[in-house]
Amino acid sequence: MENGIPGMAAGHRRAITRGLTISYDLILRNGRVIDPSQNLDAITDVAFAGGKVASIGGHNGAAADIRDVSGKIVTPGLIDLHTHVYWGGTSLGIDADEFARKSGVTTMVDTGSAGPGNFHGFRKHVIERSEARILAYLHISFAGIFAFSKRIMVGESGDLRLLAPREAVEVADKNRDVIVGIKVRVGQHASGTQGEAALDIALQVGEETGMPLMAHIDHPPPSYEHVIGRLRPGDVLTHAFRPFPNSPATAQGTVKSAVLEARKRGVVFDIGHGKGSFAFKTARAMLANGFEPDTISSDVHTLCINGPAYDQVTTLSKFLCLGMPLDRVIAASTVNAATALKRPELGSLKSGSVGDATILSIKEGKFDYEDVVGEHLIGDRRILSQGVVVAGKWWHPKRSNKFKRIEA
């Protein structure tokens, strides 16, 4: 159960010290390593052993697998802080491994797909069987987000009978290896006439478990200002760069004062792109005021995986094209997300960290990006996933020719 990937550490070859020679499981050679957790941007090697990052720098040791990644970018394994991957158990769930493989993500954080009534199935049938890392925010609604599809849409926080604080505390407490926080959705779509009642309950579950909250907002009520006013340091507001209504920016293009205050207090601002929660207009206003998101996430689910969100690298590309510097875009999907999760062993290539890495390339040209209100942005760059390393192993069997194994 170490790091939420059952059985993954086991069976891995340990780094063996033979005199002065160390044998590694994998070396990524000659990539441009960008790791904001240690302010690193350099062309060098990354070596993995025993499922962990062994070291960065030139390596003379033997390795079972060596990949030449010259001309590519190597980052800590990307974390997508807002996903829905309870495939088959909830209508909005997508297939975790398939998504991770092609979108450069090594840790998917499922946010509230499951509640205490159906978390066990999520754990047994999805989390424990996935090769990619899955962590979860547990919904306080008994069956999580249970009716989210094209034609059937029932907001789970609109019926107080479904909210299950005692069960949520029990399940969260028993699954601390994979449950990182508590999820709640409030807004006209998610909580209807109940407004912020579910937030009251979620805050109590957060207190009782000592876990952070991730709060979703949509159309008011409740208002953006009201919800962030109630969040505690370390709690996450997702859908932070929503379009009007409930945008963080004023009509004049400034940042609302309640938003600035919440950031000062330590509330985490997460993107959660999804189908209805990210607008270029909002992002431009926020970035023009120097207000970058803390974390960038896709909120990938069945209704947005074929656009407008697509995946994490597309969501990151949008921020790059909006002018956010590359190292900070990467930080928003690595070290910042790990901090929000209170999992410092993730999102970093410091030696001893979990052995996850993502290999990226940046293509130049003209790329058409779309937000949730149908605005198009022609960007000049696109971040592409070229491969992933999960727990110290190259994880692209289907494209193994891409970076051919080379002899040590």
User: Where along the sequence are the contacts to Zn ion (CB under 5 A)?
Assistant: 299
Grouping H, G, I as helix, E, B as strand and the rest as coil, residue 96 is: helix
Angstrom CA distances, 155 to 42, 144, 189, 198, 380, stand at 47, 10, 6, 11, 38
For Zn ion, the closer of residues 299 and 356 by Cβ is 299
**DSSP E strands: which ranges in 208-308?**
213-217, 236-238, 268-269
For Zn ion, the closer of residues 25 and 80 by Cβ is 80
For Zn ion, the closer of residues 216 and 396 by Cβ is 216
Q: Are 236 and 340 in contact (CB under 8 A)?
A: yes
Q: How far is the CB of 231 from Zn ion (least distance, A)?
A: 17
Q: How far is the CB of 116 from Zn ion (least distance, A)?
A: 18
For Zn ion, the closer of residues 275 and 318 by Cβ is 275
The secondary structure of 278-305 as a DSSP string is --HHHHHHHHHTT---SB----B-TTTT
d(CA 246, CA 274): 16
Q: Are 389 and 26 in contact (CB under 8 A)?
A: yes
Q: HSE (CB half, 13 Å, CA atoms) of 257?
A: 0
Q: How far is the CB of 238 from Zn ion (least distance, A)?
A: 7
Q: How far is the CB of 214 from Zn ion (least distance, A)?
A: 9
Q: How far is the CB of 84 from Zn ion (least distance, A)?
A: 6
Q: How far is the CB of 109 from Zn ion (least distance, A)?
A: 10
| Residue partners of 401: CB distance under 8 A and separation at least 6 | none
For Zn ion, the closer of residues 59 and 139 by Cβ is 139
Q: HSE (CB half, 13 Å, CA atoms) of 406?
A: 12
Q: Are 15 and 48 in contact (CB under 8 A)?
A: no
For Zn ion, the closer of residues 93 and 379 by Cβ is 93
For Zn ion, the closer of residues 195 and 272 by Cβ is 272
Instruction: Find the Cα–Cα–Cα–Cα dihedral 403, 387, 94, 296, rounded to 10°.
Output: -160
Which position's Cβ is nearest Zn ion?
299
For Zn ion, the closer of residues 196 and 218 by Cβ is 218
Antiparallel, parallel or unpaired: β 62-68 and 52-56: unpaired
d(CA 89, CA 255): 39
Q: How far is the CB of 355 from Zn ion (least distance, A)?
A: 28
Helix extents (H) in 57-140: 96-103, 119-121
For Zn ion, the closer of residues 55 and 295 by Cβ is 295
| Residue partners of 36: CB distance under 8 A and separation at least 6 | 327, 328, 330, 331, 334, 335
Q: How far is the CB of 372 from Zn ion (least distance, A)?
A: 13
DSSP state of 156: G
Q: How far is the CB of 376 from Zn ion (least distance, A)?
A: 24
